[in-house]
Copies of this chain bind each other. A is one copy, B any other.
């Protein structure tokens, strides 16, 4: 049996801790369906009142996620030690339409890519799951 030097203990995360970790990073990946195929795209995000806020642009494949159930994932797993975490939230992606909210989010959330981003999307998590990978010795 190949156990490996860096096989880590996987532990499920609670909702609050999972959201805290998601809010501790800026980059995640939105998972959606485009032309009936599974699709994924890295984007940067902020958390606002427990919702995930991202920016997109009209014409992007991502537009097909609007009013559909999407998953949003972030992780931080060290490639050498294999220690880290992953969080996935699942919920409906809605286009933010309130001009004041859009203006506020555009201030708070600068796209990393030089794309014209004219849409703001909000994902309200219905499900929040996550796990940590640890060395399994802490507190044991």
Q: Report which A residues bind B (CB closer than 8 A).
A: 2-4, 6-10, 25-27, 29, 31-33, 37-42, 69-71, 73, 75, 77, 79, 82, 86, 88, 90, 106-107, 110-115, 131, 133, 136
* Cross-chain contact A40 with B71 (CB below 8 angstroms): yes
Which of these, B70, B71, B77, B111, contacts A4 with CB under 8 Å?
B111
A80 to chain B, nearest CB (A): 10
* Cross-chain contact B38 with A32 (CB below 8 angstroms): yes
Known: A2-B107, A27-B77, A37-B71. A8 touches B114 (CB 8 A): yes
Chain B hits for A41, CB < 8 A: 86, 88
Which of these, B6, B9, B75, contacts A42 with CB under 8 Å?
B75
